[in-house]
Chain A
Amino acid sequence: MRERPVVRLALIGLLLAVCGVQLADYATHEDEKRVYPTGTELDDDFERYHGERVDVWLTVDRRTEDGFRATNGWAVTAESLPSALDPGDEVQVYGTARPGPAVDAERVVVTDARNRTYMLAASALALLLVGGYSLRHWQPEPMSGYFRPRNQHPGEGDG
């Protein structure tokens, strides 16, 4: 028995709507549920979180005597920083929020800007690999709206 295209289309629409509801629900509750304040909360009202633990991603603008200044203007102080910390590097900072805005860092994890470029290039390569390998085994059939195995003939195995 063939399935009805209208029913299938309605199901796909319903599932995409479910995705949309989840995206909206996540945005509504994320701030109250996360272990640490979110970037949105800190951007909106940093003072409110003075003295609290924060876990944030920052981009290094320049090194300072006792830490570094981030591109968003925040000052980060740390007892020790990796020697390879350069402007443009992305940094995860875990520490305590202080007036400034500033963060007394307990842990700093650096992502070298060059490694970030590698990550983006490798990810682009991965998308090409997935696309190419998928099309090697499956072919789109616009008239039916299906992807069919390349070793299967149209009409065969429609259930």
Chain B
Amino acid sequence: MTDLLTHVLAAYVFGTIATRRVGWLDARHVPMAMVGSVLPDAAKVYLLTGSLRATIAGLEISWLALQTVGVAVTLAVTGSLLVPPVERRAVLAALVGGVLLHVGLDLQVVRAGGYAPPYLYPFSWVQLPSTDLYLSSDIWPAVVAGSVAVLVWTTGRYRSTQSASEETVR
């Protein structure tokens, strides 16, 4: 995994850009994309339990399944039911977008064996090759994501100011 801060900042960047391009997305949906980008890292619950596996009601489960597209998207759909129906489509799109962005970034992580975990489960068990771009503990991805996030935030403020000025002139 990439560190969570990089995931969240990347979701902010892509979410904010999406709100400028897609009419039915609004600034309030950006934090939903950030929430979506956090969902696959629910798998890190194993750091608290001390084991990748657990037995619940007699069934053995694997916490690693939480980082897969199948489980994370199911959680995203569940999350979309926690907002009013009129908001559901946009919130679901933002949550799923955040999940897919997370998986996309995790495919860039250095893997000694050359293959990422089977993120596409349950659609496929295929383990895609990793691009070996960065270590999950590297600091520079968060620095890059943070710099771009500041740039996007600044341009957003500039656009708002410009719009307000044009309104005043009219």
Contacts and interface: CB of A to CB of B under 8 A. Distances in A.
B137 A24 contact: no
A136 B31 CA distance: 9
Closest 4 CB pairs of A and B: A159-B85, A55-B113, A26-B65, A123-B4
Nearest to A31: B62
Given A23-B65, A40-B53, A127 B4 contact: yes
B38 A127 contact: yes
Interface in B50-68: 52-53, 56, 59-66, 68
Contacts of A123: 3-5, 41, 44
Contact of B38 (A12, A126, A145, A150): A126
Interface string B80-112: 011111111000000000000000000000111
A1 to B, nearest CB: 9
B148 interface: no
Instruction: Report the interface size class on chain A.
Output: 35 or more
B78 to A, nearest CB: 4
B162 interface: no
Nearest to B114: A94
Nearest to A14: B78
Interface in A85-131: 92-94, 107-109, 111-112, 115-116, 118-119, 122-123, 125-127, 129-130
B56 to A, nearest CB: 8
Interface of A: 3, 8, 11-12, 15-16, 18-20, 22-30, 33-36, 39-40, 53, 55, 92-94, 107-109, 111-112, 115-116, 118-119, 122-123, 125-127, 129-130, 133-134, 136-138, 145-152, 157-159
A39 B112 contact: no
A71 to B, nearest CB: 14
Contacts of A136: 31
Contacts of B27: 137
A95 B27 CA distance: 48
Contacts of A129: 5, 8, 34
10 contacts: A15-B74, A20-B59, A26-B71, A55-B111, A115-B138, A122-B5, A138-B83, A157-B87, A158-B86, A159-B85
A30 B71 contact: no
Contacts of A94: 112-114
A19 to B, nearest CB: 5
Nearest to B36: A130
Contacts of A107: 112-113
